[in-house]
Amino acid sequence: MKPLLIARNLSRNFGGLKAVDMVDFSVNPGEVRAVIGPNGAGKTTLVSLLCGRIEPSSGVIGFNGEDITRVPAHIRVRMGIAYTFQITSIFPNLTVYDNVALAAQRTLTDGRSRKALDASVRDAMLHVGLTERASTPAAALSYGHQRLLEIAMGLALHPRLLILDEPTQGLSDGEIKDFIKLVRDIRKETTVLLIEHNMDVVMRLADRITVMENGRILAEGAPRSIRANAKVQQAYLGTADG
């Protein structure tokens, strides 16, 4: 199986700080891939490089067989990479429907009708359970529903790869349970790259886990092997929540 996303010798320096240091990384089509590590490990910088929010200092990034190393973020969206932020990034004064519609319009072509846009928006809202809140201003949503709205905005792009950065941050136990069900549903159609601190969520969802420390990859493997890895336990799992 050819990887959907691949990075080779990927680095990003901020002055003398090597936030990402010579990382080799790949994501296969159809998998749920998790990236974990302590704060400052380089996780968010890595995914920012992958989605084009920042440029690498060195290295190569490929997506679906194409070199996207210098491709701008908005073009990567059209190519099929959607990224939800660690902190909610919504338009608070717009309704749920309009937030999702704005996202969907980023992939519209001249040949797509208003009817097709409406269908795309409603399908995304249905996926995350926000259909009944379509006319609700985003600012009036609970924090958990705002996170779901952001995922709906990502799904409306019909991505081949959906990157979720700390999606369960601030969610209640019940909302986390619903999120796990949601990702299991999403993976039927979309490859998922998950950056997450909640180890219970990671172990229940991920096919493979990448552990980062100090900008480098410390370990990779299936959940069981990662849980049993002594280096991972010392660097992260022993002090992680859950």
Task: Give per-residue pLDDT as tens, 45-90.
Answer: 999 999 999 999 999 999 999 999 999 998 999 899 999 864 457 8
Dihedral of CA atoms 125, 126, 130, 135 in degrees, nearest 10, equals 60
The answer on pLDDT for 241 being more than 50 is no
Q: Please, which pLDDT band fits residue 169 given cuts at 50, 70 and 90?
A: confident
Using alpha carbons only, give the angle 198, 219, 29 rounded to the nearest 5 degrees.
Answer: 75
Q: What per-residue confidence (pLDDT) applies to 93?
A: 94
Residues present in the chain in total:
242
The answer on pLDDT for 153 being more than 90 is yes
Token pair 């792009």 is found at 157
| Mean pLDDT over each residue of the chain, to the nearest integer | 90
SS3 at position 207: coil
Domains of the chain from N-terminus onward: 1-80+190-242 (3.40.50.300)
What percent of the chain lies above the pLDDT cut of 90?
71
- C-alpha distances (whole Å) from 35 to each of 15, 79, 105, 113, 163 are 24, 22, 30, 38, 11
Half-sphere exposure (CA, 13 Å, Cβ side) for 192?
A: 28
Token code pair at residue 199: 């180890």
